[in-house]
């Protein structure tokens, strides 16, 4: 197929089929398979949590963080519709809007701007009893889905110094969501950029979903995002070993040095981490355990041709062999007008156009997350 051909070769005839001619696949319960939550995987996952919180061993909901670095790539669309498909299968899902300054998750569910939002959880007077967390979790018209709305940036101006402690209550509420709210899956809709809290929550999830467009700026931002996540895990590992900041910075310089790169050639950060194990075996062991305790899923949005689709497979290879993440290409979403039409109607795409090709692909991604990660 030539690059100028704009059809999707994996489904050559489906793009022009009527919406009601495509049957979405059945999405299983997320409790059917719990490979990531075996005792060893649970411990490896817990090592990467950047917050000093109490972790309930047997009651942690499965946490999916949706990010990608660049704004406008479709993270909220993916978060909202993924929640709906998981709920259709019988799961109880909570979606949290972390898009500070651009919160609009509530719009996808047809909700007006709520009076109480995530910013209320950050108020110094908030006590860690879970009551306010439950009150802010709003029901939606979609059965099995609740939403904690985000807030516009003007409501966050008093929180100018972002720290992990600021989000302590939020993270504790997420971990206790199964017990307090009866949800078995939490989806974190993250904002653009590589702010500390964005990286913290992405790294703390069991499964991170990177949404990317088939264009250079989006791909570059996705790699910058993954590098920030890797650096976060390195720093977190070092601090758990009580290493001083000077030594942590020296280790990062070692990992990025031209000398190291010349020795390893195209080995990337994964090769450098393996080399680091010779000098810092305890640190390297912690880092690799953290990498094994969480997984990355890639979603290619707005694909128009086979060349676009292939971007996802290339990124999967780089994420595995350059950064060292457990990675899988979850699939692509074709470019389709139903995306903006459903948003204009303030309805979820999978509800407004349930038989569209795009709704089918969302179902495919939801099924892969369930079958291969949980």
Give pLDDT, residue 334: 94
Instruction: Give the domain extent around 198.
Output: 24-373
In a domain, 13, yes or no: no
Give pLDDT, residue 62: 92
pLDDT in tens, the chain (374 residues): 333 333 333 333 333 333 333 344 444 444 433 444 577 788 888 888 876 777 876 688 999 999 988 888 999 999 999 999 999 888 999 999 988 767 788 889 988 877 778 877 776 555 554 567 788 899 998 999 999 988 755 555 555 455 556 677 788 889 989 988 999 999 999 988 888 888 999 999 999 999 999 999 999 999 999 999 999 999 999 989 999 989 988 888 888 876 665 555 556 888 888 888 888 999 999 999 999 999 999 999 999 999 999 999 999 999 999 999 999 999 999 999 999 999 899 899 999 999 999 999 999 999 888 764 43
In a domain, 5, yes or no: no
In a domain, 99, yes or no: yes
In a domain, 3, yes or no: no
In a domain, 9, yes or no: no
Give the burial class of 40: count Cβ atoms within 10 A of its Cβ; 0-12 exposed, 13-18 middle, 19 or more buried. exposed
At which residue do the structure tokens 């204009």 appear? Answer: 344
Distance between CA atoms of residues 228 and 218, nearest Å: 15
In a domain, 313, yes or no: yes
Q: Residue 348 is encoded by which pair of tokens?
A: 């979820």
pTM of the model: 0.85
Q: Residue 197 is encoded by which pair of tokens?
A: 């809290």
In a domain, 11, yes or no: no
CATH code of 91's domain: 3.40.50.300
Q: Residue 371 is encoded by which pair of tokens?
A: 């079958």
Give pLDDT, residue 348: 93
Q: How many domains does the chain have?
A: 1
Question: Nearest 5°: CA angle at 101, between 97 and 107?
Answer: 50
Nearest to 186 by CA among 296, 86, 116: 86
Give pLDDT, residue 211: 97
Q: Residue 181 is encoded by which pair of tokens?
A: 């709210």
Question: Nearest 5°: CA angle at 212, between 210 and 215?
Answer: 155
Give pLDDT, residue 317: 94
Using alpha carbons, list the distances in angstroms from residue 312 to 46, 65, 149, 176, 339.
Answer: 28, 18, 30, 34, 20
In a domain, 2, yes or no: no
């Amino acid at each position: 197929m030539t690059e100028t051909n704009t059809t999707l070769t994996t489904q050559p005839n489906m793009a022009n089929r009527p919406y009601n001619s495509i049957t979405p696949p059945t999405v299983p319960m997320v409790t059917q398979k719990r490979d990531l939550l075996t005792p060893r995987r649970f411990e490896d996952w817990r090592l990467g949590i950047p917050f000093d919180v109490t972790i309930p061993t047997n009651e942690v909901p499965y946490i999916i963080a949706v990010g990608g670095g660049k704004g406008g790539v479709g993270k909220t669309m993916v978060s909202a519709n993924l929640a709906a498909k998981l709920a259709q299968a019988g799961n109880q899902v909570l979606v949290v809007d972390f898009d500070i300054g651009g919160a609009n998750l509530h719009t996808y569910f047809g909700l007006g701007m709520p009076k109480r939002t995530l910013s209320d959880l950050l108020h110094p007077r908030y006590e860690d009893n879970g009551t306010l967390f439950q009150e802010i979790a709003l029901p939606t018209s979609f059965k099995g889905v609740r939403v904690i709305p985000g807030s516009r940036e003007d409501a966050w101006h008093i929180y100018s110094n972002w720290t992990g402690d600021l989000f302590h209550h939020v993270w504790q509420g997420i971990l206790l969501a199964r017990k307090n709210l009866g949800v078995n899956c939490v989806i974190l809709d993250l904002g653009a950029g590589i702010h500390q809290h964005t990286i913290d929550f992405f790294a703390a999830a069991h499964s991170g979903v990177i949404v990317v467009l088939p264009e250079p700026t989006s791909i570059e931002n996705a790699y910058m995002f993954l590098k920030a996540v890797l650096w976060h895990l390195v720093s977190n590992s070092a601090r758990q070993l009580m290493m001083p900041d000077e030594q942590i910075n020296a280790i990062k310089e070692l990992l990025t040095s031209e000398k190291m790169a010349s020795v390893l050639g195209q080995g990337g950060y994964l090769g450098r981490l393996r080399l680091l194990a010779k000098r810092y075996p305890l640190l390297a062991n912690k880092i690799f355990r953290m990498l094994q305790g969480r997984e990355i899923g890639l979603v290619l949005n707005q694909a128009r041709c086979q060349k676009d689709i292939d971007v996802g497979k290339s990124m999967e290879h780089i994420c595995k062999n350059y950064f060292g993440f457990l990675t899988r290409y979850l699939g692509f979403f074709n470019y389709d007008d139903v995306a903006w039409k459903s948003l204009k109607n303030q309805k979820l795409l999978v509800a407004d156009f349930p038989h569209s090709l795009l709704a089918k692909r969302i179902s495919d991604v939801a099924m892969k997350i369930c079958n291969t990660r949980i």
